[in-house]
Chain A
Amino acid sequence: MLSTPEFAEWSENVVLFLHNTSRVHSEPYPNLLREKGGNGFPTVSYLDASGRLLKQVGHVTPVEDLEANRLYLDDWRALSRRAADSDDADVQRKLFAMELEMKILDPVAARATADDLFEGDERKAMEQELVNLEFLDILSKTPRTEMAMGGKRFLDMFRLGRIPTARQDTSFWQYMFAYAQAEEDVDLFEELLGFVKEHRGGDPRLARYLQKLEADLAKMKGGE
């Protein structure tokens, strides 16, 4: 797609930036992909001029899809400008809803703003999105080599009943199990395993994973 005349023509609407991870020592911004929430190649993302991630398209998509995303983000920019110039609560609510959908809000601030702007069923309806936002924020800031650290933070969410349903939600459980193992907390590991078994224990596709967890638990108990 990148080599098509359509793409060349469309690209006049944006500024194209090619970031190549080379592992050459002199390369600036070597971790930019991870900092912008990506974890594979290729990844296509929209940023604003300050480098703020606005939308991760993911893979290379047709020009029409790139344009649809661009127009969506242009709507966001226009709404942002209106909100900056106005105290209109309706405009603020629309902007918040859009930014929540884009997942570009700070989770703590977003929860406070949601409490200020919305109430009743409207507020309840966005709770899961706020949970997913919090989860993805922690996940993006937790290297895979620090799963136990992330698991500790996810445990705080779990205790509050905040269970994510985002695309990468398996990491939520994986990291908590890692934390329980790192802390040698048999009770916690068993509690988490019990929760997972209760909610998805009947799924045969999870059988192998649950067996591994059972084996891990047995090993932990064996060490008591």
Chain B
Amino acid sequence: MESPFRSIPAVALALAACAAAQEPAKPIPAQPAQPGRAAQPAQRAMRLSPAPRAREKSQSDLIKLRAKKLSKKVFENADWFYDYDEARAAAKAEDKLLLVYFTRSYAP
């Protein structure tokens, strides 16, 4: 019978993952949809509570980080959709495949 473990580094990583499991992204309540391609402007929030710990970012900070990410020059090089529904509609209309680039802005 073929050995059950094919990748030892992966086992070590799995063990490490057990020890320090990263919290998965939690479901977020639905809010009004974003415009298809324009990044949202950053919003200044009034800070009424003590500054959050380094690991916890406020919604205001997350919005700023998102705007910074979406305004990166690299995304000016080609015609990107930022709205999933619009992207799928375009793919259907043009009979093309969707190439999705998953990235994040809440952390480096």
Which B residue's beta carbon lies closest to that of A146?
A: B24
Contact B84 A17 (CB under 8 A): yes
Contact B11 A30 (CB under 8 A): no
A13 CA / B78 CA spacing, docked (Å): 12
Interface size of A as a range: 35 or more
Contact A54 B97 (CB under 8 A): yes
Max chain A Cβ within 10 angstroms of own Cβ: one of B22, B73, B74 = B74
Contact B28 A48 (CB under 8 A): no
Chain A nearest CB from B24 CB (Å) reads: 6
Contact A22 B74 (CB under 8 A): no
B47 sits at the interface (CB 8 A):
no
Q: Which residues of A contact B78 (CB under 8 A)?
A: 2, 7-8, 11, 16
Q: Which residues of A contact B2 (CB under 8 A)?
A: 163, 165
Contact B98 A23 (CB under 8 A): no
Which B residue's beta carbon lies closest to that of A21?
A: B104
B30 sits at the interface (CB 8 A):
yes
**The one of A21, A49, A170, A199 that contacts B7, using a Cβ cutoff of 8 Å:** A170
Contact B102 A43 (CB under 8 A): yes
Chain B nearest CB from A140 CB (Å) reads: 13
Contact B6 A199 (CB under 8 A): no
Chain B binder among A87-95, A118-126, A171-179: A171-179
A32 CA / B102 CA spacing, docked (Å): 9
